[in-house]
Chain A
């Protein structure tokens, strides 16, 4: 089946409105896998689909498949709080996330698909003297890297978010960093947009196809054994977030990753009340309001390894406690949904975008609690790494080799839990 070019405009909207929206073309084909691909991407989330998109668009690879165990964007792409920012402390991280933020800024027009990227600003609160010093240091580091980042006083915060309780709480709000170019985007749209445009360039997107084993021979990749049979490939990219390490294990590679549930929850929809993103690492609560009016609230990870996409209730309790203290006005709201996603955390809380010891086998994982913001940037440099067999200068620091050399990109202190 040949894929068709799908164009969205005010005219196509109007035309399809007349016949009850019955004739919209399918956004992508559902082909059976071929015997051989130049490249197979394992994992049909934003990062994986984006990798296929950039491989086809920028590197001219045409014979590509994305295989996905479930449905597109059903993993952490659909389970995060969609916060986008690039105000990271270390240069390597700042360059990577800023690369991504710049791609976000043009993504809707690049894809001709609205990813609902909304630059409403991101605030990181300071609750004590130490927070103030750390945050001011990070702001200066950001500014040296050409990233917009500024200090807001308590009065300025009160003006932006009048519902916030800044004084009458255990850890008073003393100030915040603010990145005006940060914001949120629509989680599904990024997966669907990449999928559709990759499909148009001939990428086979194969859902309900579980990768069972990565097959290698004499230190070289052979292909992937899947629930739909064995598929040969010259190159395989593993972008399976929480399950990257179990897949790596099938090729005899042990990755420095630990998988844990990270939870989020949304409230019932209300009228517009908060028009920016507010994050607080110290009391651990972050919140934004979706276009539907729901408050999107991020909680933390469980302390133990787990693959249950659920998480412990005590984590939710802690976050709600902090939320109610910071925003007493939310005290009587009802929560609609709660869920967990399985995040893969590296010892230094930075990702791995890297070649491996096996020729033709690549990994893009370890995004931990903060991968959504990086989706286009990560996909872009990972595609480069796969196509050229060597990292882009932006992801060179994020190799697997850093765990041997000891040159870690330690974002634990700078990014903490609130990614």
Chain B
């Protein structure tokens, strides 16, 4: 189970939170003009990154506020959490542990956070 730092309440158990999927997804402009394909991309398609991933969480059983999070999906390590209107941290601020598209981090399947 993860321990997540809510930007408002501090470190809490994952059981207090709900995951909201990819962060920084923008609803397309001109909704009456855009094609079905563009709609499809907005409605159904989300990044499924292996490595550094920007995602949303909501502190459902706490302050009930939404916030953003940078997590490495190859290790589950949470690298940063930030408020929803804060600037998105740059990808190069974080170390990518996966060399190839489907590669594994050195310590393998999620042991990183355990051994650290």
Contact = CB atoms under 8 A, between A and B. Distances in A.
Interface string B62-100: 000000000101111000000000000000000000001
Interface string A38-82: 000000000000000000000000000000010000000000000
Given A308-B110, A310-B110, A250 B1 contact: no
A309 B109 contact: yes
Interface residues of A, number: 37
Contact of B73 (A211, A255, A307, A347): A307
B101 A404 contact: no
A255 B109 contact: no
Contacts of B50: 243, 246, 259, 307
Nearest to B41: A254
A69 B98 CA distance: 14
B54 to A, nearest CB: 11
Interface stretch (A88-96, A159-167, A298-306): A298-306
A240 B102 contact: yes
A310 B102 CA distance: 16
B2 A312 contact: yes
A312 B55 contact: no
Contact of B101 (A213, A255, A310, A347): A213
Contacts, number: 87
B88 to A, nearest CB: 18
A28 to B, nearest CB: 23
A404 B55 contact: no
A291 interface: no
A83 interface: no
A305 B101 contact: no
Interface of B: 1-2, 14-15, 18-19, 21, 36-37, 40-41, 43-50, 53, 55, 71, 73-76, 100-103, 109-110
B44 A256 contact: yes
B79 to A, nearest CB: 14
Given A305-B53, A307-B74, A308-B75, A210 B109 contact: no
A403 interface: yes
Interface of A: 69, 210-213, 227, 240, 243, 245-247, 249-250, 254-259, 303-310, 312-314, 340, 344, 347, 403-406
B74 to A, nearest CB: 5
A358 to B, nearest CB: 15
A204 B52 CA distance: 35
B14 A246 contact: no
A406 B1 CA distance: 36
Given A243-B50, A245-B48, A258-B48, A306 B73 contact: yes
B40 A246 contact: no
Nearest to A243: B102
Contacts of A306: 73, 76, 110
From DSSP, what is the main secondary structure of chain B's interface residues? loop
Nearest to A257: B48
B93 to A, nearest CB: 20
Contact of B1 (A212, A227, A312, A403): A312
Contact of B55 (A305, A314, A403): A305
- Looking at A210, A213, A303, the one whose CB has the most chain B CB atoms below 10 A away is A303
B48 A246 contact: yes
B44 A308 contact: no
B41 A313 contact: no
A303 B15 contact: no
- Looking at B15, B44, B49, the one whose CB has the most chain A CB atoms below 10 A away is B44
Contacts of A304: 2, 19, 55, 71
Contacts of A340: 109
A254 B41 CA distance: 9
Contacts of A313: 1
Given A308-B109, A309-B109, A314-B1, A212 B46 contact: no
A251 to B, nearest CB: 11
Nearest to B35: A404
Given A243-B50, A404-B36, A312 B14 contact: yes
Given A312-B2, A404-B37, A249 B101 contact: yes
Given A307-B50, A308-B109, A312-B1, A254 B45 contact: yes
13 contacts: A210-B102, A211-B102, A246-B48, A246-B49, A247-B101, A250-B101, A256-B44, A258-B21, A259-B50, A309-B109, A312-B1, A312-B14, A347-B44
Given A249-B101, A250-B101, A305-B73, 4 more contacts: A213-B101, A259-B73, A308-B75, A403-B43
